[in-house]
Amino acid sequence: MANKLTDVNDVKFVLYEQLQIEELCNSEKFGDHSRETFDMILDAAEKLAVNDFQPVNGEGDELGCTWKDGIVKVPGPFHAPYRKFCEGGWLNMAETYDVGGQGVPLTIDFACKEMMFAACHSLIGYTGLTHSAAKVIERYGTEEQKRKYMGPLYEGRYGGGMNLTEAQAGSDVGAVRTKAFRNPDGTYCIEGGKIFITGGDTDLTENVVHIILARIEGDPEGTKGLTCFIVPKIRVNGDGSLGEPNDVVCAGIEHKMGMRGSATCVLKFGENSRCIGERIGPEQKGIVVMFTMMNEQRALVGMQGLAQGSAAYLHALEFARERHQGSKFGSRDPRQVPIIRHPDVKRNILWMKAFTEGMRALVFYVMYCMDRMEAATDGKEKAKWQFFVEVLTPICKAYCTDKGFDVCIRAIQVHGGYGYCKEYKVEQFARDCKITSIYEGTNGIQSLDLFGRKIRMADGAALAALLGEMETTVQEASQASALKPAAEEVGKALEGLKRVTAYLRDDLSSRDAYLAYSWATPYLEMFGDVVLGWLLLWQAKVAFDSNVKTGVNGRFYANKVATAKFYIGSVLPAVHGKMETVMKGDRSLVEMGEEITAG
């Protein structure tokens, strides 16, 4: 079965040529690895994605999950590939040896997961929150909690769930009403309900371990009064054996636009006052503990947007090459030609290629920064990489999910009427992708995080460090005459980003904070546009230098340079119009008042 999921050549270009990830192997943390082991892992991941995950994607979408009498069943074809994934050690591959992992860099881990999410988003989605639940327990749990829960989660024998959302709260986490009542033995009785819980119940695993936010009786309202708890679906005895059911009931599952093979559950805790939870982490620090899951998930969700976009782009590319319709542009020859030769279709294909490759570079770079941060032994070096991670994570999540969906929509357009039909996969990619801009913190929340917190971190030092890194790339690329115009264009966009940042953050925020924050989402989009220009320019410089030095892979490198030039010359300049719009200071949004009516 052909790989129409991920461009593995581009994956390896980003890893080995752009990021030069082999240098990580010189550190103590990653010293057990080499390019040979990385290649073996990537090859194995591709085979698992193509041979085991991809074949069940359509069937899983068609069958969906079922719920009856409180019992959830996932599509039957999911079971065998899930077991194969877990038995292969993929779930905790990036963890340390002492918890059963292989100590692989996160960058390699995400490169593998991109292929798997592209192959079957619904199936691999069960593993993401399972890993996050295990990570929370590893970081904050007691030795007993680690013994009871962490191992089975990392092995995939237990599933994991992240429980924040409630009907009245939504994204307003501080409005959580789930209660925790102290028991004499140090445990807690949990009472409340949660909605939109991915993998909240499943027959893939023998148990589900929920990490849940609740408020201990008597604690203050708001986010600061929340505490985190471990609540298993089935109680776990001290020796690790399963005990009795824990008064956790799935009251139903959502019937969704996409990700139909992923069980999105409504959960009720303690309807019979018999739901027992164990506190994890300090009291009233639940949001801090939960952010261990949320931060990991936000980067992962950005990668999901990339994965669906990548698959959609490759399907559209193949279709455009094979679909014959219309004669050659400017020719009187009536013979039909592949539609990729038509200028509008070719522009759509190149647009998708540029965004897909730019998003891949962004996601992998964020993971690379995390790896460099973990490997660093010098405090200043660690802080630098931490700055990059902090500023880029909301962009990674929001920009890649928005643009990933846009790529899916263009892929449908390239297919024409066929793209709207189920027999072609692009309509499913679009449906599965849409949720990525909504869950794990909506993209509006990511924009507020970037504008309200991240660009102000350390008195602006975090943002300054990243902008300095981008400026260095522009300066280096400008030394090559073939890339100088592109470097100048990225440089202008970078200067524009600085101006609009200063205007919104330092000027408008002091005069009209409401209006300033209303521009948060367009600001993140502009920031993402410029970041992609920087990353694609960086790729063009690497490709140009490699082509000059080696003379091999000439077509691949030439296409890399051409893709960067297309984005920087035909797409990026639109950012100046967006910036100019912001700088005009239009106040119509404020003047409209709070009630917007239809008439």
- Catalytic residues, by residue number, are 440
Phi, psi of 188 (to 5 degrees): -135, 145
Q: Say how many C-beta atoms besides its own lie within 10 A of residue 218's C-beta.
A: 9
CB of 86 closer than 8 Å to CB of 99: no
Q: How many residues does the chain have?
A: 599
Three-state SS sequence of 73-89: ECCHHHHHHHHHHHHCC
**Are β-strands 188-198 and 158-163 bridged in parallel, bridged antiparallel, or unpaired?**
unpaired
Residue 249, SS3 per DSSP: strand
Considering Cα of 190, then 196, then 201, then 205, what sign does the dihedral take? negative
Burial bucket for residue 325 (CB in 10 Å: 0-12, 13-18, 19+): exposed
Token pair for 61: 């979408």
Alpha carbons 403 and 352: distance in angstroms, whole number: 9
DSSP 155-208: HTSEEEEEE---TTTTT-GGG---EEEE-TTS-EEEEEEEEEEETSS-SSSSEE
Alpha carbons 186 and 218: distance in angstroms, whole number: 16
Report the greatest alpha carbon distance in the chain: 88
CB of 233 closer than 8 Å to CB of 190: no
Using alpha carbons, select from 366, 436, 441 the residue that is nearest to residue 408. Answer: 436
**Are β-strands 242-245 and 234-236 bridged in parallel, bridged antiparallel, or unpaired?**
antiparallel
Alpha carbons 153 and 127: distance in angstroms, whole number: 9
CB of 49 closer than 8 Å to CB of 119: yes
Using alpha carbons, select from 87, 127, 93, 120 the residue that is nearest to residue 107. Answer: 93
**Are β-strands 207-216 and 158-163 bridged in parallel, bridged antiparallel, or unpaired?**
parallel
Task: Indicate the angle between helix axes 343-375 and 379-415, nearest 10 degrees.
Answer: 160
Residues whose CB is less than 8 angstroms from the CB of residue 198 and which lie 6 or more positions away in sequence, other chains included: 125, 126, 129, 161, 162, 262, 263, 264, 265, 439
CB of 157 closer than 8 Å to CB of 205: yes
Residues whose CB is less than 8 angstroms from the CB of residue 469 and which lie 6 or more positions away in sequence, other chains included: 388
Q: State the Rg of the chain over Cα.
A: 25
Considering Cα of 236, then 237, then 243, then 247, what sign does the dihedral take? negative
Task: Name beta bridge partners: 265.
Answer: 197, 253
C-alpha 586 chain-centroid distance: 33
Alpha carbons 441 and 262: distance in angstroms, whole number: 18
